[in-house]
Structure 1
Amino acid sequence: MDCLGALGKIDVSLPCISWSRMNDDGIPAACEADTGAIAAHIMVQYLFDRPGFQQDPVADTSDDTLIGAHCSCPTRLNGFGNPPEPFEQVHHHGDRDAVPRTIWKTGQRVTLLDFLPAHEIKAERSKLLISTGTVVENLNVPPSGGCVVSVKYKMDNQQDVLSYPGFHQLFFYGDYKSELKEFAQLCNFGAKVV
């Protein structure tokens, strides 16, 4: 669903809470009609038995971290068969509709995955962008701007956060860099560890 068109003053409810619940239940659901994000959701759910969090990346140059922000975060970050992380129902940052604000574990190892379909990057084969790191903070919105779930992540590599490639990457619990590289090889995808 292209939900960005529903952000104005119209009577259409945003699907954020539905996307969160669907991903918690193992049904891939992506925001803003992003085909690369839905493909990444499918990969994470079927390979690692857990949902991912599709987010908009924001570089924080004050401490070289990446902030992932969106309003459709699932709660079963430890896996479909495990209890949910703590969460609360809050208003969407547009001050309308209910959305879950999931609290990520500080210190938790995470993987970041972006699937770039070949037709979108004008290449012969699709590509995975992969990185790993650690959750350092859950930002409160407000006073911080952006979507209600804003997770700050420190990457393992000394990546320049301003030039971090991709958009709508998935954050998900666990360190699965090696497995994703092997999966890319199996599927004849390109793979770039950043």
Structure 2
Amino acid sequence: MVELTVKPVLAYSVYERREATSWRAWGGIADEESAEEERRRIKAELKNLEQRAGFPLKFLPVGMVKSYGDVDRLEKADVYLLYAAGGDEGLLIGVAYRGPTVVFLRHRSGPLYLWYEIIDARLIRRYNDRIGQVWLDYDDVVVDDYEELLRRLRALYALKNTLGARVVAVGGASGWGIGGKAVELARARWHLDIVEVSYAELAERIKKAMGDERCLEEAKRMAKEYLSEEGVRLETREEFVVNAFVLYLVFKQLLEEHEARIITVNECMTTIMPIAKTTACLALSLLNDEGYLALCESDFVAIPAAILLHYASGKPVFLADPTLPHDGIVTVAHCTAPRLMDGRSREPARILTHFESDYGAAPKVEFRKGQVVTVLIPDFEEKTWVGFRGKIAEAPFLPICRSQAEIEIEGDWRRLLRELRGFHWLIVYGDYLREVSYALKKVGMEFVEIG
């Protein structure tokens, strides 16, 4: 995970009183003393924000800008956080030209800013009746609300960690339904660095691990510890669980060797079973709970969305097969669900066989009833994603993939039917639709929110 560096910039003007004429613009900052007081206020506010951000975030020292020379001297950062207290539009444009910019305006949170009045007509629309420039959008402007600011920064952090992310693809890279086209689109849109590992190499690694007494003993120890946890119930053969921990150790070694945080497994329903003497389900679930992103099926239609949602939420993501939405509800299921869905505590789980093969070890995670979730639906073309908020109504036990949830759809479920795209869905605890929408706009994609 790469931290997001943010350069706060206070743009302001200093005025001198003149008799019988307008000598100052709107706003509560008009001299060096009030500007310095505002700098100290910003510093204290951002220190508090950094401490509670929940993701790697670093604020650089507050830059003071009242001339074009001041803009030229600003240090580089991933994002510029522009406190637009004053200054002419050229000064603000100069900051925005340096890189992604979020503008913070004060109405009631401190001294009122000049650009609270004029940012729309002058800077965003540029004296037109529509947006007249490419630097700033309405979503790039926050008034008073540091929670909204944090959402923007979280989205930009997610985007930074998604673009160019390295993915280890065991058994090769593919895409559900469209094969190699999905891989091409993922590389073109998201610049993913895909490292392919053959099943021949995996077989050699597993064979070596199975023959390593220390590795086997570690797998047995970890399996025993896992199965003794409160809320875990074994309903398959214990040897399948031990082998799943061997596979987990092999996958983790691959991740470490390739300096990656993301792994996916192709043909995981058939090819991997004779090699690992278990299924990949539990091994991937364990990696998800450790903070990695571990996905089955090597589906590069869905993998970019999974990466973005993972970093936007800071939580494990459940990649699931959907069913047909109806009557305001939809069933989702898969066998690789994380247990640490809220990022803090593990949900109860039954350890069963993988459903289609009735073999191996797969967790049936008992998702929390009443939990609000974000559901993200990526498209086959990497142009338009769909999302909605839902609530887990039930965690049933139907004859389908083991981890199951009935999700109540917030919004018009009939519209959702008309907007369906792709196949796999991504589910995470909490509401992150605004972060996803903001991030997608930055890469020129559309987002359809149902609700």
TM-score for the superposition, normalised by structure 1 = 0.84
- 1:102-160: per-residue Cα shift (whole Å, max 9, x none)? 111111100001233xxx42xxx5332211111101111xxx22111110001111212
Larger Rg: 2
Aligned residue type for 2:360: D
Report the Cα distance in structure 1 between the residues aligned to 2:383 and 2:293, rounded to whole angstroms: 19
Which range moves more in the overlay, 12-21 or 91-100? 12-21
User: Does 1 or 2 have the higher relative contact order (CA < 8 Å, sep 6+)?
Assistant: 1
1:7-46 superposed matches below 5 A: 11-12=274-275, 13-46=278-311
Within the alignment, does 1:112 sit opposite 2:375 as a pair? yes
- 1:28-54: per-residue Cα shift (whole Å, max 9, x none)? 222211013221221122121101110
Please state whether the residue corresponding to 2:287 is helix, strand or coil: helix
Q: Which of 408, 425, 430 matches 1:174?
A: 430
Residue 60 of structure 1: how far off its partner (Å): 5.6
The structure with the greater share of residues assigned to helix is 2
Report the Cα distance in structure 1 between the residues aligned to 2:303 and 2:347, rounded to whole angstroms: 22
Structure 1 unaligned runs (5+)? Answer: none
Please state whether the residue corresponding to 1:30 is helix, strand or coil: strand
Report the Cα distance in structure 2 between the residues aligned to 1:170 and 1:5, rounded to whole angstroms: 20
Aligned partners of 1:3 and 1:14 also within 8 Å: no
Report the Cα distance in structure 2 between the residues aligned to 1:148 and 1:156, rounded to whole angstroms: 25
Report the Cα distance in structure 2 between the residues aligned to 1:5 and 1:78, rounded to whole angstroms: 28
Within the alignment, does 1:148 sit opposite 2:411 as a pair? no
Aligned to 1:49: 314
The structure with the greater share of residues assigned to strand is 1
1:52-91 superposed matches below 5 A: 52-59=317-324, 61=326, 63-79=327-343, 82-91=344-353
- Percent identity for Structure 1 against Structure 2: 27
TM-score for the superposition, normalised by structure 2 = 0.38
Aligned partners of 1:53 and 1:171 also within 8 Å: yes
- 1:83-118: per-residue Cα shift (whole Å, max 9, x none)? 2112121111121111111111111100001233xx
Report the Cα distance in structure 2 between the residues aligned to 1:69 and 1:146, rounded to whole angstroms: 7
Within the alignment, does 1:132 sit opposite 2:386 as a pair? no
Are residues 114 and 60 of structure 1, via their aligned partners in 2, closer, same or farther at CA, if it must alter by over 3 Å? closer
Aligned residue type for 1:188: G
Aligned partners of 1:128 and 1:192 also within 8 Å: yes
Which range moves more in the overlay, 22-31 or 144-153? 22-31
Report the Cα distance in structure 2 between the residues aligned to 1:2 and 1:133, rounded to whole angstroms: 29
Residue 162 of structure 1: how far off its partner (Å): 5.2
- 1:69-89: per-residue Cα shift (whole Å, max 9, x none)? 11000011101xx12112121
Structure 2 unaligned runs (5+)? Answer: 1-264
Are residues 23 and 41 of structure 1, via their aligned partners in 2, closer, same or farther at CA, if it must alter by over 3 Å? farther
